[in-house]
A = this chain, B = another copy of it.
Amino acid sequence: MEHATFPPLPLVVICGGTHGNEMSGVYIVREMQKQKVEKAGSVSITTVLSNPRAVEACKRYIDTDLNRCFTDALLSGPITDSAPYELRRAHELNAQFGPKGSEEAVDLLCDLHNTTANMGLSLICYSLDWITLHIYKYIQSKVTSVPVRLIQLTIPISEAYSLESVAKHGFSIEVGPQPGGVLRADIFNIMKEALDLTLEWLQKFNSGSTFEGGEVEAYTLVGNVDYPRDPMTGEITAVVHPQLQDNDFKLLQPGDPTFLLFSGKTVKHEGEELYPFFVNECAYYEKKVAFQLARKITLTFPSISVKLDR
């Protein structure tokens, strides 16, 4: 692969509280705001609590999941005072940090999330973005306390529904396990480390460093598995099997147990060998997702450096 150059990345936005009960991001943003962190070398930093009303209520959202509101369709629709709070907020955030897909959009948006699943540190991104791959590789090479993984959502950017999609480049930093409404020191420190490394990489990039090309493993979403449910009431009739619980990213083979029914029976995985993640994530019960399944792929990327003659 040939060498690639990109314009400098001076404008960075760090968002916490996109889900109001995911506490690491809320407190990282609050602390940066208290300490008036607005610069890291060449990088200008804007910090935002994306969903202040949900943060205040310590809930994921007030009316609807903010982090599903950033599709082109939702952002281009009309907005009225009676629209769901989060949709109105999505329009505000898009106006402030986008507009999505435009030249005016900020250079990079980093959105901070927690999960109740035992996922360690994951970066989640859309499509193939060499900037994100390089940042991921940088973080992975430095963080030793937990597994660091990359999850790629292969949907067109127009249908990309999450906040980071309004920026030119962006990703979510997802760290778990942490219960909703709880702040754990270990999880906080991992997220802070990932964020500091992101800012460090951006400064090096902007200063003219060349980053070697290479390859990374990534997990690409294949599908969702719902809990077994009562067809009449919709209530779950099973719990994630103890052998799957906490085993995010451990290869699930045909015949491996996935659910323990309240009746005592075991449900087993059928079909392809795949990697489960977001296993028993609190917020996904209502989305009818007990866990997601991914295929492991290898992504190759070129060496990059800044294009200084922008």
Contacts and interface: CB of A to CB of B under 8 A. Distances in A.
Given A188-B239, A235-B30, A239-B188, A180 B183 contact: no
Best-buried of A178, A181, A189 by chain B (most CB within 10 Å): A181
Q: How many copies does the complex hold?
A: 2
Contacts of A30: 235
Nearest to A285: B181
A176 to B, nearest CB: 10
Contacts of A95: none
Contacts of A31: 262
Contacts of A27: 236, 239, 262
A184 B280 contact: yes
Contacts of A260: 185
Interface in A182-197: 182-186, 188-189
A179 interface: yes
Interface in A237-289: 239-242, 245, 260, 262, 280, 282-283, 285
Contacts of A240: 183-185
